[in-house]
Structure 1
Amino acid sequence: MNELSEEWVPILLEAARTVTGRRAGLDAAYLLTGICARLPGVDEAIVLLPDDQGRGVPLAGTDWPLFDDLLAFRADEDLCGAAREGTREAAVYADLAGQAGRWPGLARIAAAHGIAAVHTVPMEAFGELVGTVVLTSREHQALSAGEIAFVRGCAGIAAAGLLADAVAETLPSAVLRLTRHTAQQDQIAVWQAVGMLAAHRGVDLPSAEAMLRAHARDLAQPLVRSAERVAEGGADEIAGPGHDTRVLVVDPDRFTVSCLSDTLRAAGFDVTALVSAAAAQPAVPPPVAIIDQTAAGAGDLIRALAEGPGTQVIVISPVAVQQAPPATARVLPKPVHPSQVLAMVRALHPAARQAA
């Protein structure tokens, strides 16, 4: 008999809490982008809500620089046609490097972030088109019909959460305005709290956001409630670096990256997965990094992290690689099973040791 994979249980529970709670619409948007970014053909995801002029206003995303550049490069203007026309169909923007004349904003953001294709999927619930999910891919590939259907289903759950916050069923003519106002006011509160928490703890913004989200999950409350607690002077209540569950995974094989990431996420770690070390430049290094020596730029990244403070480096090393890793690094020879990697991460990660 088939059984539900353990990794999806907390996701489903969080989705249920989101659509049945109040002021959890922003949580729904973040949950949606996080789920979408785990699809094999998706690298990053962003939720856009249309403003009164049809421009897409970013609400939640998995990549802060991409989030900012979407507006800076005016790429949202290339993506808002669906919102203006009220279409309910998914769309794909491919060959972005060769489409600068047609989609100038998208072409610029593609060049800046190494994006080859962008998909847009409508977010709709109760017959209302609420927003758009933007999915980016660094490879020239189209998502399958099944993947698009999966995203649409998850987007419907998130849209329901946003509409519930806006009491859309009683004021249908004000759905977009009220949803945007409520969600964006909550987002402002979260942004402010993340900035305050980052300054208070001396960490970067992604780390502060992870701490804030962990606090909300631990108390089973909306993200904005934890943000309001920080604004009230409760930053000390938010768990510090010991609750930093980040793990960096770098491996040139996408299947290996997916297997390791799924195993670590199921164990409660916040995973950043890359196929090239050249793209790994965290402002604050993660507590644990798992790096395959055959990945592009792996040698420099391994040395930089191993020589710096605060990061335990696990090197996945094939016999054929001649360059020895730094003495402070832990080495796992290929082939290695994900369970071996998980065991070593649990032994080295501060958050895992604290939980034990």
Structure 2
Amino acid sequence: MSDNALSTTERESRLLRALVQLADTLVDDYDVVDVLHRLVEHCVHLLDATAAGLMLSDQHGGLRVVAYSSAQTHMLELFQLQASEGPCMDCVHSGEAVLVADLTTEVRRWPRFAPRAVEEGFASVHAVPMRLRRETGLLNDEDLLVVRALADTATIGILQERAIRRGEVVTEQLQTALNSRVVIEQAKGVLAFAGDIEMEQAFHTLRSYARNGGRRLADVARELVVGELRPEDLLSVRRRPSDV
């Protein structure tokens, strides 16, 4: 834990706010991409983690990176996919939590991923599956309960009753999230170039504009990419503290 670790009271308060945000998906028309980004951000802040990322399985059973808290995390998640090894890969294949306190001890297990992650400054990794009904694994007991609560709440939102009246709707919804990721990345590039800003700042600007207008993130991104929105329209928006 760092010097910036939350006190027990602060953590409980923040966890409650996080669960309320995620629970909104049960009753409102919601933006699944934004929900998943909120999930990784909550994990970072509540667990005092350096970074967090999230992968989803697509219609063909392949994994794709959908949400991440930093560009560094994004690259490391992509490296797992390229190398076909790492905690997320093992987590998906086994359906169990993968908890590694010291990455330097896992070189034989992940000969390509472990050295790369250590080189990037990561000392430990934990991967927890988004599952319904079946339980998994162990972190620190309290931390694991937090991760499970967040992951399970987000999963329930995705699998809510109105979305699973027909099984194919769930697959279509998740595929939409995966497809939206592509246009969002394109829009981030447009903003980053136009405003001479970092990609992460571009994403927060894009999301602030969408939230302030009560619009879906992917819709705003698509309009920006095709020229229906100008970069200047979004760059005038400043990220508010409540966006985290």
TM over 0.5, shorter chain: yes
* Rounded Cα–Cα distance in structure 1 between residues aligned with 2:99 and 2:15: 27
What one-letter code is carried by the residue in structure 2 that aligns with 1:106? F
In the superposition, relative to structure 1, how do residues 218 and 4 fare at CA in structure 2: closer, same or farther (>3 Å)? farther
Residue 123 of structure 1 deviates from its aligned partner by 0.7
Query: Residues 238 and 6 (structure 1 numbering): CA distance in 2 closer, same or farther, change over 3 Å?
Result: farther
CA distance in 1, matches of 2:119, 2:162: 36
What percent of counterpart residues are identical? 24
Q: Which amino acid aligns with 2:121?
A: G
| Aligned residue among 212, 229, 234 for 1:234 | 229
Q: Secondary structure at the match of 1:124?
A: coil
Matched, 1:185 2:185: no
* Residue 154, structure 1, aligned to residue 150, structure 2: yes
Query: What is the TM-score when the length of structure 2 is the normalising length?
Result: 0.77
Q: What do residues 232-281 of structure 1 show as CA deviations (whole Å, max 9, x unaligned)?
A: 421333143x6156xxxxxxxxxxxxxxxxxxxxx5487xxxxxxxxxxx
Q: Deviations over 1:65-103 (max 9, x none)?
A: 221232235466333233223x3x422023221321211
Contact conserved, 1:33 with 1:60, CA < 8 A, in 2? yes
- Equivalent of 1:219, from 201, 213, 218? 213
Structure 2: runs of 5 or more not aligned: 1-8
Instruction: Pick the structure with greater CA Rg.
Output: 1
1:243 is aligned to 238
| Consecutive unaligned residues in structure 1, runs of 5 or more | 133-141, 246-266, 271-356
Equivalence map 1:1-356=2 (5 Å): 11=18, 14-22=21-29, 24-51=31-58, 55-72=62-79, 74=82, 77-79=85-87, 80-85=89-94, 87=95, 89-125=96-132, 127=133, 143-163=139-159, 167-171=163-167, 175=170, 177-231=171-225, 232-235=227-230, 236-240=232-236, 243=238, 268=242
- Structure with the bigger RCO (C-alpha within 8 Å, sep 6+) is 2
Partner AA of 2:233 in structure 1: E
Do 1:91 and 1:119's aligned partners in 2 also have CA atoms closer than 8 Å?
Answer: yes
Distance, in Å, in 1 between the alignment partners of 2:12 and 2:104 is 39
- Mapped partners of 2:213, 2:201: distance in 1: 19
Task: Report the alpha carbon displacement of residue 119 of structure 1 after superposing the two structures with TM.
Answer: 0.8
